[in-house]
Amino acid sequence: MKRIILTLAIAISSFAVFANDVKVNTAVLNAFNSEFADAKDVQWASGQGYYKASFQYNDQYVTAFYGFDGQTLGVARNISSLDLPMNLQTSLKKEYSGRWITELFEVSNEEGTHYYITLEQADSKVTLKSSNGSKWSVYKKATKA
């Protein structure tokens, strides 16, 4: 019985290792290594049409997205509200003071830098977007159950 349990445990752990093993093509690896040479704890995943690298860089957790050809699609990182441009901070305090922040991240790509913030209150939540530091616009609204 112990032998069967041990065999199953080894099989499951081996499957988990292979299930997370992503083969990243050379073009993507070269692009990543030239852009983030000092990255640590890199973990790769793949989606439909892209690779995603999650890693530590300059003491921050960062996610980079690459096309299969090695082109950088975008880089995202979680940020503090203090990292937002001042006009966006002021706007949040003025227009959304009764809500709390549950998610805030910055996305950089060839189109510029975009900020996404999710704000909640007891019965609803709203996700706002700002492109290149311009004013907030509603990206998504939801009512809590």
pTM across the whole model: 0.74
Phi, psi torsion values for 83, nearest 5 degrees: -85, -5
> What total number of domains does the chain contain?
1
Long-range contacts of 97-106 (CB under 8 A, 24+ apart): 99/126, 103/78, 103/127, 104/78, 104/79, 104/80, 105/76, 105/77, 105/78, 105/79, 106/76, 106/77, 106/79
Kindly state the DSSP code that residue 49 receives in the 8-state scheme: T
Q: Which two tokens stand for residue 6?
A: 């041990």
Domain containing residue 88: 2-143
pLDDT in tens, the chain (145 residues): 333 333 323 333 333 333 457 889 999 999 999 999 999 999 999 988 899 999 999 999 999 999 999 999 999 999 999 999 999 999 999 999 989 999 999 999 999 999 999 999 999 999 999 998 889 999 999 998 7
CATH number of 60's domain: 3.10.450.360
Contact 143, 123 (CB under 8 A): yes
Smallest CA-to-CA distance from 115 within 130, 127, 94 is with 130
